[in-house]
Structure 1
């Protein structure tokens, strides 16, 4: 493959100094061995290899002298010869050799990089120059080095006419057409970890790997450094490495210039790759098929540089058809989505930025910058965001005579170079999101951007993905409770570029900021409502402005459901979940509406998701606990959730009331009664509801005690009813009367079971205190259903000492309860007469219909 080189001044200077140093070393060796033939001085294998190299030089005659052979001997072997003949060297040379030797050996990898056109490291030229300075303390011993150094000092450009060639190193058998990178003067600074990652990715199973980042951030440099590293691996992973670039512009110190003859489309890029693989004279009819055929036959690494300028459907088709044994490495400002495995490249670390600035200034002769104090350079780097191309451009501008402050304030050309090509590719949706972020500095959630732009969730996500891959927008994960939420903001480069080249009109800015203000006002009202009524079904927990947009969608969903538009309501909730997948209220509201639809399974699943994202939010725990306790048939789970909420709000009477209800449902009547009586004593605002729970718990405990003959304990629970509970109950409805009839019945039973006159007296007194229960003019009693005939619409109650008491369907309250009665059902009833004057039950209240009704 052809790969014409344009060597940097640093590489050529290294070559000039190394060549002169080697010439002096060979001279010292020849002078130490006067009259010695090559056969006498050199090991046979070394001499044989040197003669083989000499035979390839047609202008050389048959060698006879050591001085003719030594240039073709490996440099490392020359150093061994000097060590071997140390005793014959000039005494001053021999005396200093122990100090010089290790530093000269350090030049071997630098010499290899120079000779094999591998990228130089940042310390290569300084290392060579430092050693030269040390050696030239003894100028007489290093005549060639002294003369070369003097010429370079007088005219640094003298090296530019050199052709790099070490006679002991044969030219590479070309398997690549890689250009020398533009970091040859400084080395690739600050990218060691990125290079390691990229090498791993190229060696891995991925067919398409991309390096994505801002213009000038170092994508091309990293790709080249990685490609050269692959060339030097012992086990070669590729038969050939092919480089082609679509770079269409270059940045100078004064302007952005178009590159004449640059590749303009994917066909041109694939054609260039095909010509490299087939040879420049080959006829290429179908570049895509030609390249794919070569990549199928050979292991090829195809590097497509600056892909964003030629990205089209043809190139996507090519990438989707890659054979298994070859790979494509891409550099681009725009990612390819699902086709690629991307490595995103950002700015340098601040320390690396300073290192690059000093090195660039030193190689370009800008001494004032190279020697400037660290804190000054750190301020410059901060303003340049540690961007590699910005740093190099900055040095070139200072080299051209401008002041640093002028260069930093007049960076329009640099921004155009970095951003203009990419801006042209943005979709309308991306531009809408971009204008929103341009008008509102800072980070914003997806939901907030959606509310400001009216973009559907899927369209907004595609737009934000495009803005991230083009480096207009950065994504910042923000800790939120126990989870993480992604927020978005313009990169500093993007904001500067947009303000310079695509500034918002006053009308656009006012429209966006005005809408944002209205969203903040509505969100503040939602937050206030949540504080005032934290357990209301429509009260939404909002953690801040990032929640406002999605909270408003949820309020709209509830309103739509109230109006009967359930499908649209659930669509809106689903969109809220896409925009803010970590916002627990979107799952809680879905659970609430699914519960209203009697979809208990769906509501259960949504509450589980809400709890997963709520991070212990007490209001969410409260609603979920009530649901599991009352609707899902899992009171133990519900009670656990309510108790978890109470750990955060220990003195909250609403939570405590729900907990005592949970105790009664779980059968823990003692805890229910104790908790309810505690609320009665300390929280007047929930006194009636607490009394209702206490009423039920006290009756059930009294029944339990009397069932095992514990009359005193049973009466104690019934005294709680008379002394504390009944005075607190303000609502005197059927449920209240059912309980009171039950209480009277239990008191009568206690009197019957009493074994002492004292207990009987207590029971009689308590019965008088409870008094009679009159409902609609009739005294109400307690009984059980003896028989029921659903098909005929009547039944009979068991009345001790009397005939069975008839009741009809219409006597049973509430409506429909007759159909649920069975023999043995507990009821409260009042006695009246039928049309013929016979006794009958005229009002029948099934106890099971009123269990929990007071609570």
Structure 2
């Protein structure tokens, strides 16, 4: 649905007036009068019902649900209680307020504007300046912003205005006469309405091109839409416009309906028909005969043929066909002839159009001069509007009127000639990449941004070359821009992009598509990674690039750059929820929790269905705001949106644990354990949380004096620990198990004389015996590491340097054995052998030092010996290309564009594969395995390193 300058301005002013009136009611009456005394019972019930639908339970909130008419009526009813200045305003402007109500409804409910709407609002606003500014601060602010920057009005978001559910279904478009409103033709409107309510089955508005046949039919259709007495059950609009007049000929509009069958099929599509071409005529006729439908056929002269005649004759029920045509369609129709405007109306249209478009040479001219102009233009509304556009762009009126036969092409030529360079660049880009385009995409294609882009778009809209509209998306609505059809054809013929420009625009569009596909792939890999931006469409990839750079700046501790990038993204797409999610992340990392909370809430308002956003907000509430209840509320919503997400389930289990909801926590963790697609990292966190749940139960039971239950919980910790799969065990899980010793020590003191003491001591001993070292796998069978006698002999040689050869290795578990001094073998872990994946090959000769690890001998400080050890490759930068944690490998790309494979075992010490994300910068060395070159010693680039502490935002571990 398209919006122009006048509707946007009226929306801004009326919204401001509405808000100021609500504020007057609240602060003049709400602070001193009981709410039941302020509002009539029916009004109060209506307001509470509106508030309840939005989840607002407090009566203090219901003032925000006052509509324009309610506010005016309440102020009138209580004017005796108002301050003198406000009481004076109410007395003087009571009638004017009533006049604004239908204007407000037309603006807010997407109805055609009337001729006097703009001037009525403008006069009312000017009268407000005679009252104290404090009474109408929002109106004053809006005027000042428009005065400072006339293009500000184009930033007004009107897409949420039309919240009305119409009485009957329809597909009526907004008319193109919004900038002046529907002027004159009151008698014609009344007569056409009467004709549509008469017994005539078909009414045709007939007249020359440009006389406003479509405008009148649309005005009447909207009147019938709101007229309950008309009795229509639906209104269907379809147009057969397919040609336009140009300099020398008539040109065909691309993709237009070419025959009556196409016109009837268009109506069938609106009515939900699915029939074949042969059945379409009968299908639509059946609809018209069964229901009372108003079918509007615009530009009917282009598709007149016998098939259409047969269709009209078959549609003889209660429905009505309203057509527009340059020629009559015969005896079956009531012809409603439409001529040009009368002289007075034409002058009014010319003056008002010039005033709206800021052409003072015309709107300040005398009536006699304007009458001459409109007579030369044959009182044609279409010609008048294009004439104003031509003068607006710098032509003298006499030049514009020199050849009235070619006014359309002449006006377009003049308009284009006086466009700015930026405006012409936008036109060329939209020729090369046709269709409806968003602001971010236009900015990327043209490399024009900020105020320059706003000024270019404002100029194109003012010249009627470009139209702005709101289109529905999965996430709601989106503002898009599109060349109007006539200017598009004109530019395509006369000023198209050259071959180089066309190639550049198309390549940039391909780049956007590539970026979008990459982002979609990253999101598919792990949408709960905070560095992954969720795109709604291809155009979002442009904004996402800025947001990704902002996140990178956060991790580089460049707060100012991060916030600047977020503001640039917000400027491009202020309704994109990821902008606010990233803004929240920036504020959370820079110790501004209040701003972070506000940004998270904005993100949720724009996209309440994003489970990752709820997840990150919950993490923020839990860690930064210390609000586990709020975190649980967000995570429950996230669970409903994404019930199988391990990230959500683990985080929710941890919150439930903190709140003491242990059974709920265990239940969600079990769902994680039974999910085969959960990553290794999430499994480890889940098992650690599972052990923590039992540990917290043990502590809670002890504090309550329930010592037997506390012991049982401690034993449950041990049972759960022993259930952890070997490959998932890590230091954190072991640390959780060891913390149980503190509770057991306290139990031993309390149960020193109890029969339970042996159980306490046994549990303590079992947990105390837990050993873990990342060098020597805890669950590795002792027999494979040598017998006890051999271990004792080697322990006596700690520090001895030996040589031997690699005997065997277990690459997935990152350990192996070295054979030396005949039949002796000693265990080693890959972390003790630089570039182990490259050089830990059976038969390779190594030098090592015997060391002690957890009471057992092991090889340390391992290095290749002899000519086998090549010069170590220097470290070089790269970027993560793809990660497959479940398969324990990944790929990276170096600065020359070469891709390298690497395994989990090629990571530097203390680097987890799950911590790497697509696009992360890393350093690496080139190594070798049995298949060829691989990346080795992979570690995050210094610019990617961040410190995670207790105040880390959502996503960090508690």
Query: Aligning the two structures, in what range does the TM-score lie when normalised by the shorter sequence?
Result: 0.3 to 0.5
Query: What TM-score do you get using the length of structure 1 for normalisation?
Result: 0.45
Q: Which structure: larger Rg?
A: 1
